[in-house]
Amino acid sequence: MVNQAERVLSGPALWSAQAHMPSVLGRQIVIERAQGSYLYTANGQRLFDGTAGLWHANVGHSHPELAQAAFLQMQTLETYHIFGRYLNDKAVQLGEVLADISPIADPKVILNSGGSDAIDVACKLARRHWQAEGRTSKTLILSRDFAYHGLHAFGTSIAGLQFNRDGYGTESLVPETARISTHDIAAVEATIAEIGADKIAALVAEPVQGTGGVNPPAPGYLEGLQRLCRENDILLIADEVITGFGRTGDMFATERYKLEPDLITFAKGVTSGYAPLGGVLVSPCIWERFYRSGDDTPIFRHGATYAGHATACAVALRHLELLEEEKLLPRVKELEIVLTDGLRQLERLPGVADTRVAGLLGGISLAEDISAERVTDALVDEGFVTRPLRGNTIQISPPFITTDDELRDLLGAIEIALSNQDGKL
């Protein structure tokens, strides 16, 4: 019999992300292929993808049109960088398309490789903006309790999930950060007053918190954040890495909640995860200073080797067409009704503490005596993938192509799994 130490030493070379390695070794599920809303493991199991991967597989898996877009682009130009005088045509085309659908009027578009990159760039740009304005004390970045903004240095530093911030020898990798209340706008106002608006560069907020437990905004909260930012000269950064490109039923959640942010970060849904791509939409109040003619015009030193990657941009362009051709945003609004009705039924169960919905984002918070991790493990055995989140919450965020019956089957499987837990942790 293999003991724990031998199992650790004989495990795969790949170091899993966000994993307590001794707990997952020997239990890892290897996904070998996927089609539509379904995953197929190396041992032949078929699994309904109730999380769309990490919130991203919006058009489903293995879409032939996106595979063809990548294939054709690689035959022409795999990529070329966009530093200095150089551009590639697909990055230029994507920039124009994104500017056209942006909730921010007349934006500039910064492209990079993903959500964590986008947050890093947006926070740096916010600080760079105030330095260029001569308001050099405005360096601090606010973010919400329970927020998740990726795991680069800035994302780690502004995380509202303490376990992502711990263990690095300092309270924050980037010191000028602070957290605000997730739902209480009066408490946010008090925090700003305590810190001093003259020290605050920006406030970063997910319109709907994802990893923090699928938390839609309290009524009036986002409007209150926007008001406080305007009154105190604080840039508002909307983190739409999860919600962007249809997840809430509108192209951007800032449209659903009628926000007017200064910067919007995006990633996952721009390609449905078919290629790593992210970026930032930048309002004129920020970008104009960097575009004016003159020897004293500042440079914003952003950029990465794969920023504006031509193949990723080609995939994004075709993907955005598919959202329209397959009428997937209206479909999200239809599925929101099904999800809302199903979660109301689950709320009747004694093991369910609360449920939350925003578009095709759902969260089921369980009673303290039932483990969300145990429930999600049980669901895998029944052919469904979900994920445990903060707050003992089960994540529901399937692809936009999900049928009504598939969504009901997932919720039915959750009900059965809950009934089988019998109050066991």
CB-based contact 343:355 (threshold 8 Å): yes
Residue 361: per-residue pLDDT: 98
Tokens of residue 218, six digits: 């309290």
What pLDDT score does 11 carry?
79
**pLDDT value at position 421?**
77
**pLDDT score at 7:** 54
The tokens of 316 are what?
């994004």
Which H or E element spans position 286?
Answer: helix 284-287
C-alpha dihedral over 81, 85, 90, 96, to 10 degrees? Answer: 130
Q: Running DSSP on this structure, what letter comes out for residue 211?
A: T
Phi, psi of 412 (to 5 degrees): -65, -40
The pair of structure tokens assigned to 353 is 């503490």
Torsion of CA 249, 252, 258, 260, to 10 degrees: 180
Domains 4-59+327-421 and 65-325 share a fold: no
pLDDT tens digits in sequence order for the chain, 425 residues long: 556 555 555 778 999 999 999 989 989 999 999 999 999 999 999 999 999 999 999 999 999 999 999 999 999 999 999 999 999 999 999 999 999 999 999 999 999 999 999 999 999 999 999 999 999 999 999 999 999 999 999 999 999 999 999 999 999 999 999 999 999 999 999 999 999 999 999 999 999 999 999 999 999 999 999 999 999 999 999 999 999 999 999 999 999 999 999 999 999 999 999 999 999 999 999 999 999 998 899 999 999 999 999 999 999 999 999 999 999 999 999 999 999 999 999 999 999 999 999 999 999 999 999 999 999 999 999 999 999 999 999 999 999 999 999 999 999 999 999 988 764 54
> For 347, phi and psi rounded to 5 degrees?
-60, -20
Helix (H, G, I), strand (E, B) or coil at 116: helix
Q: Domain 65-325: which topology?
A: Aspartate Aminotransferase; domain 2 (3.40.640)
Q: Where are the domains of the chain?
A: 4-59+327-421, 65-325
Residue 184, pLDDT score: 97
The DSSP letter of residue 367 is P
- Asked if residue 158 lies in contact with residue 143, where contact means CB atoms within 8 angstroms, the answer is yes
First to last CA, the chain: 27
* β-strand partners of 46: 40
Q: Which CATH class is domain 4-59+327-421?
A: alpha beta
Q: What's residue 380's pLDDT?
A: 97
